[in-house]
Structure 1
Amino acid sequence: MWSFDRRNLILGALALGGLASCGFTPAYGPNGTATRLQNRILVSEPSDRNSYLLTRHLETRLGRSASPEFGLNVTLELQEEGIAVTSTNITARYNVIGKAAYELLDLSDGSVLTKGQVNSFTGYSATGSTASIQTAEADAYERLMVILGDQIVTRLIAASGNLPE
């Protein structure tokens, strides 16, 4: 039994040594690349409810800056698609499909540091009372803005190693 424990101890030490030498650094840890983004980005001004929800989520994840160094422009494309139609030709469920094109700018010279596009979808039921359908629709759009915002932040974190310090 004792030799089994010793073997596990040695294997564990070797594994930890291997992880330490791989160069892995947590994104938000000390000297992590994502700290270059925190409270340094000015998100473009929203123009409607959905872009407001996206901006709010991005600012929650990235922080709001009093003196930003980077600008984040986001362009939304949204559409609804009926996906469940009853035998009486009434749509009972909708998908909300969203695309968000983004570009991160260096505010000192206006150069584009990184850009890309993310997309996803959510759905909602169109059965029930008018109030429940409107609530389900609004919730689907809000969930979609969170999903798109999280995808943008993930892409920005991935690109943050190439940003100026």
Structure 2
Amino acid sequence: MSSPDRRLVLLGALALGACGFTPVYGPAGQGGLLLNAVALPEPENRNEYDFNMRFEERMGRGTGPYALTRALRVNETGLGSLSDGQTTRYQLTGRAQYVLTLAGGSEPLISGHTDAFTGYSAAGSSVSQQASSRDAHSRLMVLLADQVIDRLLIDADQLPR
């Protein structure tokens, strides 16, 4: 096996530094402002609970200066079917619209939306179908929460210090 040439690694690091790359959690990065600083609204359903759980898992439970409002939408579409018309596969498409504000404020600091999809098999017993559906919804909320977090971290340089 060949090991990478150290010169290439050093040149790569210099190129990243020259283009203005700043690690989001580094000393000059703004991402640290969001850790344990974003309050979420209380969940009203299972999807919102799963979204909040993943968001707090990555960003911490926020009690700080920011508040995130989010609207989650999920559509379910049957994809595969048997000759008798029974659907065997479903696709879930989801959208998360989000707005980050100062807690108690209404002026948007960062806003946007993100989309994701997943699917599940509906073959088997009704219990396994319900478990597959619940798991797919949970996976979709994890995807959406991760994408919202990534977008917030990318746009964190817009936040006031």
TM-score by length of 2: 0.89
Q: State the Cα deviation string for residues 80-111 of structure 1 (Å, max 9, x = none).
A: 11011111111011111111111001125321
Q: Which residue of structure 1 lines up, in the alignment, with residue 18 of structure 2?
A: 21
Q: Distance in 1 between matches of 2:109 and 2:91?
A: 33
* 2:38 is the counterpart of 1:53: no
Query: 1:18 Cα shift?
Result: 3.1
Q: State the Cα deviation string for residues 99-132 of structure 1 (Å, max 9, x = none).
A: 1111001125321111111111111111111211
Q: Which residue of structure 2 lines up, in the alignment, with residue 4 of structure 1?
A: none
| Backbone CA RMSD of aligned residues | 1.7
* 2:77 is the counterpart of 1:86: no
Q: Which residue of structure 2 lines up, in the alignment, with residue 33 of structure 1?
A: 30
Aligned pair count reads 157
Q: Which residue of structure 2 lines up, in the alignment, with residue 114 of structure 1?
A: 110
Q: Distance in 1 between matches of 2:111 and 2:71?
A: 11
User: Aligned residues: percent identity?
Assistant: 38
Q: Distance in 1 between matches of 2:47 and 2:7?
A: 54
Say which SS state the counterpart of residue 78 (structure 1) adopts. strand
Where structure 2 has 5 or more consecutive residues not aligned to the other structure, the ranges are none
Structure having the higher Rg: 1
Q: Match for 2:91 among 85, 95, 103?
A: 95
TM-score by length of 1: 0.87
Q: Match for 1:130 among 112, 117, 126?
A: 126
Say which SS state the counterpart of residue 87 (structure 1) adopts. coil
Where structure 1 has 5 or more consecutive residues not aligned to the other structure, the ranges are 1-7
Query: 1:12 Cα shift?
Result: 5.6
* 2:37 is the counterpart of 1:44: no
Q: Match for 1:141 among 137, 140, 150?
A: 137
Displaced runs of 4 or more, over 4 A: 8-15
CA 1:23–1:81: 2 relative to 1, 3 Å: same
CA 1:99–1:19: 2 relative to 1, 3 Å: closer
Contact 2:40 2:62 in 1 (8 A): no
